[in-house]
Amino acid sequence: MSDTDAPADATSYPVDARNRVKRRHDRGFYDHETVHRLLDAAALCHVAYVVDGQPYCTPTLFWREGTRLYWHGSSASRMLRNLAEGEPACLTVTHFDSIVLARCGFNHSADYRSVMAFGQARLVSDLEEKRRALVMMVDRFFPGRTAGLRASTEQEIKATAVIVMEIERAAAKIRAKGVADDEEDYALPIYAERLPLRTVIGAPEPCPRLRPGVARAPDLAAYREGRSLEDALAEAHAEAYR
């Protein structure tokens, strides 16, 4: 077996030329725990695919169930029409943690945590699976919320397509190094720093047309002002799938 074709155990994804981190192998992770943790702390992904030789990359909301990824969109979407019969796809997420200013342009960088997941994406055609997925499209972010909502109409369900992809290969890549100059450059009188970045939740803005007496539900407490969005998303996913 070559060093570019490593098997997986029950807790890791297989590694081959498709998902092996090519540069800085020390930053690559293939274990389920790391990959899933980064996926569950994200809401927006980018799905890359090819239509008639033309590459496309589409942003969309997504969620994970075990080793399956789901996303949705309009039934008229070019992406979803292309993936309807089962097509290779790559889904990526990125957590942007800092901008790094060094003493040389070459060493300017960023700290980040990212995942690339590969598989065969297909349209969810079974009606019951689709209905369940559309519930989790909401409840993955807000556990139990769908039960208190107006039920979706048949036309709304028909107008929404759901895609599922079993993760065949995946790789997480993490840089958490901060400033890393060449040793001789530390003596230079040049300012350097790390600019930490966080996405935090702002103050809720209630709909101005709420009926009198309708209050914010207690189950939205995880999404409170000033909290890290990824912490709220990770908590919601754990609650939805416990």
Say if residues 12 and 31 touch (Cβ distance below 8 Å).
Answer: yes
What is the rounded CA–CA span in Å between residue 25 and residue 1? 18
Q: Which fold has domain 25-199?
A: Pnp Oxidase; Chain A (2.30.110)
pLDDT score of 145: 94
pTM for the model stands at 0.90
pLDDT score of 4: 43
pLDDT score of 75: 65
- 81 Ramachandran zone, left/alpha/beta (phi>0; psi -120 to 50): alpha
Beta strands, E only, the chain: 28-29, 44-51, 54-65, 68-74, 87-101, 109-123, 160-166, 169-175, 193-196
Q: How far apart are the first and last CA of the chain?
A: 38
| Widest pairwise Cα distance in the chain | 68
Backbone φ, ψ for residue 154 (5° rounding): -60, -35
Q: State the residue for tokens 């709304």.
A: 156
pLDDT averaged per 10 residues in sequence order, the chain, 242 residues? 52 90 84 96 94 88 96 72 78 97 96 96 91 95 95 91 94 94 96 97 96 92 95 96 88
What is the rounded CA–CA span in Å between residue 146 and residue 139? 6
Q: Show Cβ contacts of residue 160 under 8 Å, excluding neighbours closer than 6 positions.
A: 72, 73, 74, 75, 134
Say if residues 99 and 110 touch (Cβ distance below 8 Å).
Answer: yes
